[in-house]
Structure 1
Amino acid sequence: MMIPDGGRWGLANAAVPSVLLDAPDGPVAGPDGMTVCDLVVDAGRIAAIASPGTVAGDLPIVDRERRQVWPGLVDLHTHLDKGHILPRCPNPTNDFDGALAAVPVDRESRWTADDISRRMDFALRCAHAHGTVAIRTHLDTAQDDPARSWRALAPVREAWAGRIDLQPSALVPIGFYAEQDYARRIADLVAENHGVLGAVTYPGPDNDALLDRVFTLAAERGLAVDMHVDESLDPTVAELDRVLDAIERTGYAGPVTLGHLCSLSTRPEAEAARSIARMADLGVAAVSLPMCNEFLQARAPGRSPRLRGVAPILDMAGHGVAVAVASDNTRDPFHAYGDLDLLEVFRSAVRLGHLDLPVGAWPAAVACTPADVMGIAAGRIAVGRPADLILFSARRWDELLARPQSDRVVVRAGRRLDAVPPDFAELDDLG
């Protein structure tokens, strides 16, 4: 496909997911959740959105023939500092406990600044080639050197500025907030790096006070909060309710994102519905990690899984909760696979979460919804926005979901991106 090399040009008869098109006075959305339109690109930005077949004149035109065009995508939950350590740090059981045991050994012995930054850069080149424009990454912050991953991220973040917007979040087990000076140190580190304050919750007698401390520290510094919550299929695990209680007790009014929420799928229906309704009332966003949670949860030696391990996405959306889906871990003990390809994540979420009746609203979960949660202008096609686009060969939803779409064309700032995912052999010397 010939994409003009900059300047002013047009995409005719582009099928854009209606939920990702910001053109209130533009073309009418179709019943399938797609809007067919013409797009004009000028100086790297969207200059016009028009009815199909109306862009003509002396413009170079690429006729999409009703094939899909998406904006650049947004990955709300990743772990760039863990990525691609699997060859040297296997998980012998491929379950959650095995991952928890494997990573600290590798972290304390192998995570130099060069090691982390090289693996991060490799992962970002994968995401970039697939069409991602923004990523929130959780960074291991509770170890012998809490700032280790943050120091490694700083030059990577600078090098990738303008290509992928990176938003770091502190990954801290909730118990580490018990020591007040340490907790303040972590919150200050996050604030200095324009990041997000995070915590990993698990059942404990002192959690109410610890959660209050997290939200108080965040409020004092004007930080958003992102927590790993209830990454378990045990129906008695319900730390979500304690998190919501803490939001109410402290009066915290900033953005809150809660990831995983697997046990919501196994808790009694009425109980889970009450928790989800409270999330909606408090404006708490959710991010489901379908590929990683399907991989880790419900594992038992010699037995096929009985449960999917995925949060109740449809239920949360039905209550009005903003729901994103994201990559989570890639090629590490928590998830042996993945390539930071959000289309792969989207396809997995639709299939595992039954998001196909209809599917039309769900592209938002990898685009505008996570962008809104991150507080950035991305994930939509709109006049004046950068012409960061992904051109798929698919026309219908079933065509998009049937194949990996490895022939996609990524356009950044109005120019075709000449990038492919890097060769894994580049990391061989890291062990």
Structure 2
Amino acid sequence: MGSGFLALPAAAHYRLMDATVPAALAEIGAGGAGAAGAVRDDVVRADILVIDGRVAAVDPAGTVPSGPGVAPVRLDGAMVFPCFVDAHTHLDKGHIWPRTPNPDGTFPGALAAVGEDRARFWSAADVEARMTFALKAAFAHGTAAIRTHIDSLPAQLDISWPVLAALREAWRGRIDLQASSLCGIDVAVEDGYLPRVAAAATRFGGGLGCVTYMSPNLPVGLEAIFATARDAGLPLDFHVDETMDPGAHSLRLIAEAAIRHRWTEAGLGRIVVGHCCSLSVQPEAEVAQTLDRVAEAGIAVVSLPMCNMYLQDRHPGRTPRRRGVTLLHEMKARGIPVMVASDNTRDPFYAYGDLDMLETYREATRILHFDHPVGDWPRAATTTPAEACGFAGRGRIAAGTAADLIIFRGRSWTELLSRPQSDRTVIRAGRAIDTTLPDYRDLDTLWS
């Protein structure tokens, strides 16, 4: 059994002493971190009291005695995070690379490969096996909440959604699992189909979403999707402008539709949009106009840096110039909630990945410059997706929250982000879990 580098006591009451905690993720008692003068490099040294599976107190390090019956656990500055929230994944596509790889690494190649694999292999048993493998990996890495997009084309709709619902129940208490439908906007608005998707999302407790791209049907399609979602009481989550075409501006059209439909007053949660790659190649004036509308509409944005860098601007024999990550700094400056997430895992859209949100955050720090200063960027993988997606109580360390924590050996940002931290200790409901990752050989029966 792998339980990380740290041995926790069997006692139900213990105190994690002298932890290094990202200041943006902790609510410090006893006068607060600022009052204790403990904030430096955007972290705070803290003691975390755990009682019966919940965080009972978070205090500046060394300011509160452990007390009788509380076992001390000395961390020597090890970093502690709340468990991660992964706001944009594709569990149903995951791990199909061994049988159907992307022939050239391009976006069209990915679409074709996934279409072929779906048509040939995506039975309920196949989807369940691959999704279960992915959930095991995410759980071992320390993720506590996931939103996945479910391919919802007509032939797949009645296969994957029941699997999703069954897995959500099977994993209850380990991973909070949400889902949103996924198909092209042209498919979604075909006669009679959008109501079928909405009915499946309603029946199986999901949300409504689609891939938006510039087409003559886009304005009509958006009106239909907004009206359907509002009537059915479904949250919205879009794949938006995943292209380096500067003429792709469906993000602005979505924001304008949200404003027209007065979405913030609908009580259905924030609209979430992913990718938004085309912003990175558009003129500044157009960018400013779009972001002003996005801020007004209250939309949250998730960037998928690893997948987008894998797919965008790929041409044989040519080094990529444009990397596809969207403008998170400019968005954040306008008050737009911004996040990063895993996206695809070992499928034709991204040949790598393991649903390890530390890897995602580490690479986002390097790609998107989440540093100098770090500030509150750690919220992009924890607190912000929890709030944007409605995972109540997730993504922060505070008195009263579940003791769902990750302890890393690294004691500073440069130590944390320089190594994979494969020996992390993951705590769920106050207890260390088995962090042994599932073996890829477990999937071999799907390829034979």
TM-score over 0.5 (shorter chain): yes
- Name the amino acid aligned to 1:297: Q
Aligned-residue sequence identity (percent) comes to 48
Residues 70-79 or 55-64, more deviating = 55-64
1:430 aligns with 2:435: no
- Name the amino acid aligned to 1:2: A
Structure 1 vs Structure 2 CA RMSD: 1.3
1:209 aligns with 2:214: no
1:93 aligns with 2:99: no
Cα deviation for residue 5 of structure 1 reads 2.2
Cα deviation for residue 99 of structure 1 reads 0.3
C-alpha distance after superposition, 1:234-282 (max 9, x if no partner): 1111111111121122222342001000011110112112211221121
C-alpha separation in 1, matches of 2:158 and 2:252? 30
C-alpha separation in 2, matches of 1:238 and 1:136? 25
Cα deviation for residue 345 of structure 1 reads 0.2
**Superposition pairs for residues 257-406 of structure 1, below 5 Å?**
257-376=272-391, 377-406=393-422
C-alpha separation in 2, matches of 1:27 and 1:245? 41
C-alpha distance after superposition, 1:315-342 (max 9, x if no partner): 1111111001000000000000000000
1:46 aligns with 2:55: yes
Matched position secondary structure for 1:14: strand
C-alpha separation in 1, matches of 2:81 and 2:215? 44
Q: Which residue of 2 aligns with 1:12?
A: 17
1:222 aligns with 2:237: no
Q: Which residue of 2 aligns with 1:27?
A: 33
Q: 2:7 aligns with which of 2, 5, 23?
A: 2
**Contact 1:355 1:362 survives alignment (8 Å):** yes
Q: Which residue of 2 aligns with 1:113?
A: 124
- Name the amino acid aligned to 1:424: Y
C-alpha separation in 1, matches of 2:331 and 2:291? 6
1:83 aligns with 2:83: no
Residues 72-81 or 359-368, more deviating = 359-368
Q: Which residue of 1 aligns with 2:67?
A: 57
C-alpha separation in 2, matches of 1:167 and 1:55? 40
C-alpha separation in 2, matches of 1:9 and 1:146? 47
Cα deviation for residue 103 of structure 1 reads 0.6
Residues 210-219 or 174-183, more deviating = 174-183
**Contact 2:24 2:42 survives alignment (8 Å):** yes
Q: 2:202 aligns with which of 191, 210, 217?
A: 191
- Name the amino acid aligned to 1:286: V
Residues 56-65 or 319-328, more deviating = 56-65
Q: 2:424 aligns with which of 408, 420, 431?
A: 408
Residues 378-387 or 241-250, more deviating = 241-250
Q: TM-score, normalised by structure 2?
A: 0.94
76 and 6 in structure 1: CA distance in 2 versus 1, 3 angstrom threshold: farther
Aligned length: 431
- Name the amino acid aligned to 1:33: D
Matched position secondary structure for 2:32: coil
**Contact 1:6 1:415 survives alignment (8 Å):** no
Q: Which residue of 1 aligns with 2:3?
A: none
Gaps of 5+ in 2: 1-5
Cα deviation for residue 177 of structure 1 reads 2.8
Residues 336-345 or 303-312, more deviating = 303-312
**Contact 2:22 2:81 survives alignment (8 Å):** yes
**Contact 1:34 1:360 survives alignment (8 Å):** no
Gaps of 5+ in 1: none
C-alpha separation in 1, matches of 2:165 and 2:189? 28
